[in-house]
A and B are shown apart, each in its own frame.
Chain A
Amino acid sequence: MQPPPRQFVVRLARREDVEAFTALVIDADGALERHPESREASHLSIETSIRSLAGQASDAERGYLLLLEDVHSAEIAGCITLTCHIGLEQPFYDYRVGRIVHSSRPLKSYRCLDVLYLSNDLTGCSELHSLYLRAGARGMGAASLLLKAAQLFIRSRLHEFAPRLIAELHGVQDANGASPFWESVGRRFFRVGQREVERLMAKGRKAFVAELMPKHPMYVSLLPTAAQAVVGEVHHSNVGLARELEADGFHFENHVDIFDAGRVMEAHMADLHGVAASRVLSARDCEDVAGERWWIAGGSGADFRVIGGTAAATDDELRIAPALLRRLGARAGDKLLALPLRP
Chain B
Amino acid sequence: MLTIRPARTADLDALASLAARLPSPTLPSGAWELERLLERSDDAFAAEIDFAGEEEYLLVAVDAADAVVGATLIVAAAGYPGADYSFRNETIVHASRELGVNHRIYALALSHELSGFTLLRPPVALPGTHAARVERALLQAALSLIADQSARFTEDLVAPLPGEVDATGESPFWSAVGSQFFGVSYREAERLALGKDRSFMAELMPHHPIYVPLLPEAAQAVLGQTRDAFMGAYALLSEEGFEGERFVDVFDGGPVFYAKRALARTVHCAQLRPLRIAPGDVAGAGECLLSNRELRHFRAVLGPAVLDAGGYLSTAPEIAARLELIDMDEVRCVFA
List chain A positions with a Cβ less than 8 A from chain B. 100, 102-104, 106-107, 109-111, 113, 115, 184-185, 188-192, 200, 205, 207-208, 211-212, 214-219, 221-224
* Bound-state Cα–Cα, A214 to B207, Å: 16
Please name all residues of chain B whose beta carbon is closer than 8 Å to the beta carbon of A215 when the two chains form the complex: 92
Give the residue of A109, A192, A219 whose beta carbon is less than 8 angstroms from that of B99.
A192
Contact B105 A214 (CB under 8 A): yes
Q: Is the CB of B180 within 8 A of A222?
A: yes
Whether A102 and B211, one on each chain, are in contact in the complex, defined by CB atoms closer than 8 angstroms, is: no
A208:B96 contact, CB within 8 angstroms: yes
Of the candidates A100, A104, A189, A222, the one whose C-beta lies within 8 Å of that of B207 is A100
A-B contact pairs, 13 of them (CB 8 A): A107-B182, A107-B204, A188-B211, A200-B98, A208-B98, A211-B94, A212-B101, A216-B208, A218-B214, A219-B180, A219-B208, A221-B180, A222-B210
- Decide: B204 and A109 in contact? CB cutoff 8 A: yes
By the criterion CB–CB under 8 Å, are B98 and A191 in contact? Answer: no
Give chain B's interface residue range (CB within 8 Å of chain A). 20 to 34
Instruction: Give the contacting residue for A115; candidates B103, B184, B208, B213; CB below 8 A.
Output: B208
A179: min CB distance to chain B, Å: 15
B235 contacts the other chain (Cβ, under 8 Å)? no
Q: Which of B176, B180, B192 touches A111 (beta carbons < 8 Å)?
A: B180
Residues of B within 8 A of A223 (CB): 214
Q: Are B211 and A216 in contact (CB under 8 A)?
A: yes
- In this assembly, does B334 line the interface, its C-beta being within 8 Å of a C-beta of chain A? no
What is the interface of chain A mostly: helix, strand, loop, or mixed? mixed
Q: How far is the CA of A274 from the CA of B209 in the complex (A)?
A: 43
Determine how close the nearest CB of chain A comes to the CB of B58; give it in whole angstroms.
29
Instruction: Kindly state whether residue B181 has any CB partner on chain A within 8 Å.
Output: yes
- Find out whether the CB atom of B207 lies under 8 angstroms from the CB atom of A107: no
CB-based contact B176/A205 at 8 Å: no
Is the contact region of chain B dominated by helix, strand, or loop, or is it mixed? mixed
**A70 vs chain B, min Cβ distance (A):** 41
Give residues of chain B (173-231) contacting chain A, Cβ–Cβ below 8 Å: 176-177, 180-184, 192, 197, 200, 203-211, 213-216
> B176 — nearest CB in chain A belongs to which residue?
A222
Residue from A107, A111, A224 in contact with B200 in the complex, judged by beta carbons closer than 8 Å: A107
The distance from the CB of A242 to the nearest CB of chain B, in whole angstroms, is 28
Partner of B101, one of A100, A192, A207: A192
Instruction: Name the distance in Å between A273's Cβ and chain B's nearest Cβ.
Output: 38
User: Which of B95, B107, B205 is in CB contact (< 8 Å) with A216?
Assistant: B107
Query: Which residues of the other chain, A, contact B97 by a CB distance below 8 angstroms?
Result: 208
Given contact pairs A189-B94, A189-B105, A192-B101, a sample of 10 additional A-B residue pairs in the complex whose CB atoms are under 8 Å apart: A102-B204, A106-B197, A107-B183, A109-B182, A185-B214, A191-B103, A208-B98, A218-B208, A219-B206, A222-B177
Within the complex, the shortest CB–CB distance from B217 to chain A, in Å, comes to 10
Q: Which residues of B contact A104 (CB under 8 A)?
A: 200, 203-204
Cβ 8 A contact of B98, one of A207, A218, A221: A207
A224 pairs with B99, CB closer than 8 A: no
Chain B neighbourhood of A208, CB < 8 A: 96-99, 101
Q: Which of B75-123 contact A (CB under 8 A)?
A: 92, 94-99, 101, 103, 105, 107
What is the CB-to-nearest-CB distance from A95 to chain B, in angstroms, rounded to a whole number?
13
A191 to B95 Cα, complex, angstroms? 11
Query: Nearest-CB distance from A195 to chain B (Å)?
Result: 14
Q: Indicate whether A205 sits within 8 Å of B105 (C-beta atoms), given known contacts A104-B200, A223-B214.
A: no
User: Given the complex, which residues of A lie within 8 Å of B99, measured CB to CB?
Assistant: 190, 192, 200, 208, 212
- Check B183–A111 contact: CB distance below 8 A: yes
Q: Please indicate the chain A residues that have their CB under 8 angstroms from the CB of B184 in the complex.
A: 107, 109
Q: Is the CB of A212 within 8 A of B94?
A: yes
Smallest CB separation, B316 vs chain A (Å): 56
State in angstroms the CA–CA spacing of A184 and B107 once bound together: 16
Inter-chain CA distance A304–B188, complex, in Å, is 69
Contacts of B197 in A (CB 8 A): 106
